[in-house]
Chains A and B, each alone.
Chain A
Amino acid sequence: MTATPTTLPAQGPARSKRGWKRVKKARAPTIKYTALLIFAVIVLMPVYILIVTGFKGVAETDPAHAWSLPSIWSLSAWHEAWTQLSPYMLNSFKLAIPATILSTALGCLNGFALSKWRFPGADIVFTFFLFGMFIPYQAVMIPLTELLSKLHFPAQLPQLALAHIIYGIPITTLIFRNYYATIPEDLMEASRMDGAGMLRTLWSVVLPISIPAFVVAAIWQFTSIWNDFLFAVFIITDPSQYPVTVALNNTTGSLVSAYNLQMSAALLASLPTLVVYILLGRYFMRGLMAGALKG
């Protein structure tokens, strides 16, 4: 790379040596790609099963056809899955969208104050929050259901949303705090010099550049709320208010239900988070990294 073409004579043997090295090196990427492709096939195998089995008729779900493509692509299982799950998908949307918005907003306020408008003991408060991210929620579940039932909320879905908002505070705070840590301190000082107060600074200086953090936190919250089973199964006792994970487990949990229905139902219930992941996957990865603290 650094050699100039004017020194040709000396380059003769060196070049051939390099050429030989290249042949040897060429094998390494092949092995690499083969290994990566094998892993990719294994990881995608359950998706293949979800898709092909979901589009089969009941007759083709027997062992002889277990791994083959459907001979006739049938929508009957999808139709059935939609009929059974759509009301619960709606519940999940009603739950996940407001809970995501509110817990993300709280995370933004906390993250800002804990990194850019600090008060004495801010780090202690942050650690105090963070522990809430790791606790097994089982350790609050019995009192939580007691407390929520005493609050006389009109319906159980808002109770569940409240739980997700509160227990989402640590992770959203973490995401915003890590993000704001990258904003130069001078920006805050300049704003203070201009006589702007905290809210003014937050609104007109910080919020306009916070979009990436909002996306990361919202994706993370939406995915975990949509996929949650534990809170839902403890808090929701009225079957008409089940979110989709609970309904899915109930429809497919009975081992008698046909495999084509099980698979189409599982895929249907996963579609919203999958779509979010496919559209915004890059941000999803950043959210993961935030979840790992400073790793």
Chain B
Amino acid sequence: MKNIRRWGPGLLLVSPSIILITIFVYGLIGWNVKVSLSNWRQAQPTSHYSGIGAYQDLNHDAAFRQSLAHLLVFTIVFALGTLIIGWTLALLLDKGVKGEGFFRAVFLFPMAISFIAAGIVWRWLMNPAPGNRATGLNVIFDKLGLHALANQWYLDSNPVIGGIRSWGMAAMAMPAIWALSGYVMALYLAGFRGVPEELREAARMDGASELRVYRHVVFPHLKPVTLAALIIIGHISIKIFDLMVAIGGKQGFNTQTPAVYMWIQIYDRSDFAKGAAIATLLLLLISVLVIPYLIYTVRSERRS
């Protein structure tokens, strides 16, 4: 404490942000929880405490459960897709190829485009309309004689397993994979290049083939990267909103995710408590994923 003259100014410099973050992140999260427990279920705001009614409603709400199932299917396909493709691209680029800069730029550029704009092209590519209104990939399948491959894309309502609908969400993951594989590639590429060259060289001296060098030296080093990529893709997936609105529209039942369903509760039903309850559940879901990771990262940083 006696060194306050030394560290005081630093704290002062950060304090405006501390105040803003405290109010706008943590304060508003608390306020949102309060709304979810209130009886604000019509256009006029009210703030009377009325218990967990909104959460109980969600528990019995078939459409909400459906949106969770959608989110699950979407997340699995999205995460697997970006991880496999990102990893493969990084592996292909690892040893340095001519034109690496070009390839990296191409694979990364979808990050610069909004999901709204990307959604417009992908809606065209995955157009489920038949015959004279068809566009996109179904037209290609048709021209190549691969009629069996033409499908309903994001409108496909066939169940995945049991009651978990629907395959349409797997199609919905395609634009998201397109958008973020480059990001995962960048993460893995940094991971590959972070493996000390001496380690690779030592393994080679021991007579290990290039394949074994990768398997026993390089890949084990990538576990933290995979973890980071999973956390990043996972939290993007849980929040996903724009893409569904751009492709499936607000009322697209087959593509509804909790974030879209929340929007509908607020704008179409004016059920603010229920909307706030959905938002709180999304926050819990993300916290379970992110908080342990944040603590782990900051701790391991301090150790090093």
Contact = CB atoms under 8 A, between A and B. Distances in A.
B232 interface: yes
A250 B282 CA distance: 27
A62 interface: yes
A128 interface: yes
Nearest to B231: A134
Q: Tell me the interface secondary structure of chain A in the complex.
A: helix
Interface stretch (B58-66, B72-80, B240-248): B240-248
Interface stretch (B106-114, B151-159, B162-170, B198-206): B106-114
Contact of A140 (B25, B106, B286): B25
Nearest to A247: B116
B228 A142 contact: no
A39 B228 CA distance: 24
A230 B7 contact: no
A236 to B, nearest CB: 13
Contact of B112 (A106, A146, A173, A274): A274
A226 to B, nearest CB: 7
A175 to B, nearest CB: 14
A184 B280 CA distance: 43
B132 interface: yes
B13 to A, nearest CB: 4
A187 interface: no
Interface in B94-115: 97, 103-115
Interface string B125-149: 1000001111110011000000000
B92 A36 contact: yes
Q: Tell me the interface secondary structure of chain B in the complex.
A: helix
Q: Give the contact-size bracket for chain A.
A: 35 or more
A138 B279 contact: yes
A132, A276, A295 pick with most chain B CB within 10 angstroms: A295
A144 B24 contact: yes
A273 B113 CA distance: 7
B98 to A, nearest CB: 8
B20 A262 contact: no
Contact of A276 (B93, B112, B245, B249): B112
Interface residues of B, number: 98
Nearest to A37: B103
Nearest to B16: A106
Nearest to A63: B134
Nearest to A107: B17
A44 B178 CA distance: 10
B235 A134 contact: yes
Interface stretch (A3-11, A70-78, A210-218, A286-294): A286-294
B45 A146 contact: yes
B294 A227 contact: no
B224 A295 contact: yes
A215 to B, nearest CB: 15
B9 interface: yes
Contacts of A207: none
12 contacts: A36-B103, A43-B181, A46-B178, A50-B121, A67-B139, A129-B17, A136-B238, A173-B17, A223-B111, A249-B246, A263-B121, A288-B186
